[in-house]
Structures are given as structure tokens and as C-alpha cells.
Structure 1
Amino acid sequence: MRRAIAKIIFLFTVLAYFIPAAQANEEDQKAFALAKQNACLGCHAIDKKIVGPSFQMIAQKYKSDSNAQAFLKNKIAKGGAGSWGVVPMPANAKLSATDLTLLTSWILRGAPQQN
């Protein structure tokens, strides 16, 4: 009986580990596709500066900022300049609030790459 309970606990532990990882990976893939579809990758890369900072640089800069997600959502939607230099970022006003949340969450986690 104890062995059966131990096996069940083990299975639930394994499932609890893999299900969130699979969901996160799916969200990462959606966020990457969203960035690609909206031309974000023309100016930003995951791990190196192009015209704008890399997504990993953004995550590092805002890692301790509790208002970072709201700030970045606004920055993406309205565009602007000054946070990273003089080159302006164009507005991307067509993104929904849901898309902005998905995209900024992904960026603030360092833009994990899909497998």
C-alpha cells in the first residue's frame, strides 16, 4: 500500500513539473511568433543589440522594477524614445492588451527561446 501511494505521489510530482513547463514553452512560442509578426525582431534580438536593445538587456534593466510590465506595455503600444538612446521606437497600437501582456511577460523573462 505504501509503495502504491509513493508511486502516485511520484507521478503527480512529475506531472506538476512538466505541465507548467509545457505551458510556458507554448506561451514562449506564441510570444516569439507575436514578436516576429509585428516586426519587433527587425530592431530587437533575443541576445544582442540591433537597432534597439536585446530582449535580454531589457529584462536585465527592469528586473527589479515592479512597474516594468505596465511601462513596457505602454512603450510598445505608444512608441517613444529616450529609454535606450535617441532612436525612436515606433508605436505598435494594433496589439491587444492580451498580446501586450504575453509579449512583455516573455521579454521580462529574458525572451526564452522556443525549442
Structure 2
Amino acid sequence: MNRLLGMGMMALVGMTFACGGGEKTAETTAEATPAAPAKEMTLEEKYQDDPIYIKGIEKIKASDCLSCHMVERKIVGPSYAEVAAKYESTEENVNMLAQKVINGGVGVWGEIPMPPHLSLSEEDAKDMIRYVLLLKK
């Protein structure tokens, strides 16, 4: 009889464990696994549907700008994000910066000169500058 009772208790313990006795293990595992951090959106992703972005990036890709500038990292010249941080997007700044792109310049961002882009139309230069000034972090 004791043996039968002992087997019944073992069966009851086994059923209890199988039917929910392991819940704490599942909860502990879920708590121990941190959620993956959300991927930070790049400036390109942030503005990709903006008409100013679309028009400006098209003209920049057709030029030699990307030889010296990147969106978020300085190479030869400042990054576009650095330029956007320095200048407000006003029509006065768009005009002034477009003229710098067309005529070239040196001194604002260091001693490496930006060559002139005399074949670039004023309207194309302004579209490019509007795109650059859009890229604020």
C-alpha cells in the first residue's frame, strides 16, 4: 500500500511539473533576455520621402560632391550634417552657400579649398544646398 501511495505521489508531482511547474523557468528566461535595441534611423532614412531630399540628392549624385563630402562623416570637406548644424535653412543662407559652391572657397572649414563648380547652375546649387540644410540631426 505504501508503495502504491508513493507511486501515486510521484505521478502527482510529475503531472504538476509538466502542467505548469516549469512556468518560473520560462519567466526567468524571458526576463533574462533583453530586448534588441531599436536601430537608430539614418538621416537618409529619415528624409528619403521629402521632395527637397529627392531633388537635392539626385543633383548631388550627378556631381562630384560625394568625392569630398558624406552625409554624416567628414572626409575631405565637412559632412552635410555638420553644414546643416552650422547654418539655418533660410533663403539668405541658401543663396550664400550656393554661391560658395559655384565659386569655391577656403577657410570656413579649414585650409583645404573647395574648388569652384562654375558649370553648375545657380538653381541646381540651391537645390543641393536645400538638401544639405535639411539634414539636421
Q: Could you tell me the TM-score, scaled by structure 1's length? A: 0.68
Decide whether the 8 Å contact of 2:53 with 2:134 is kept in 1: no
Alignment partner, residue 84 of structure 1? 109
- The reply to whether residue 74 of structure 1 matches residue 99 of structure 2 is yes
- Does 1:35 find its partner at 2:60? yes
Q: What SS is found at the alignment partner of 1:67?
A: helix
Q: Distance in 2 between matches of 1:65 and 1:27?
A: 14
Aligned length: 89
- Pairwise CA RMSD of aligned residues? 2.2
The within-5 A match list for 1:1-115 is 25-63=50-88, 67-110=92-135
Query: Is the 2:73–2:79 Cα contact (8 Å) retained in structure 1?
Result: yes
Matched residue SS, 2:50: helix
CA distance in 2, matches of 1:63, 1:31: 17
Cα shift at 1:40:
0.2
Shift of 1:79: 0.3
* Paired residue type of 1:80: G
Provide closer, same or farther for how the CA distance between residues 98 and 81 of structure 1 changes in structure 2, counting only shifts above 3 A: same
The answer for unaligned runs of 5 or more in structure 1 is 1-23
User: Using the alignment, how far apart are the partners of 1:108 and 1:81 within structure 2?
Assistant: 19
Aligned equivalents of 1:83 and 1:67: distance in 2?
A: 17
In 2, the alpha carbon distance for the partners of 1:102 and 1:54 equals 17
Match of 1:6 in 2: none
Is the 2:104–2:117 contact (alpha carbons within 8 Å) kept by the matching residues of 1? Answer: yes
Q: Which of structures 1 and 2 has the larger relative contact order (alpha carbons within 8 angstroms, sep 6+)? A: 1
Residue segments in structure 2 that go unaligned for 5+ positions in a row: 1-48
Report the structure number with the largest CA radius of gyration. Answer: 2
> Shift in Å at residue 62 of structure 1?
0.7
Tell me the CA shift for residue 26 of structure 1.
Answer: 4.0
Task: With the length of structure 2 as denominator, give the TM-score of the two structures.
Answer: 0.58
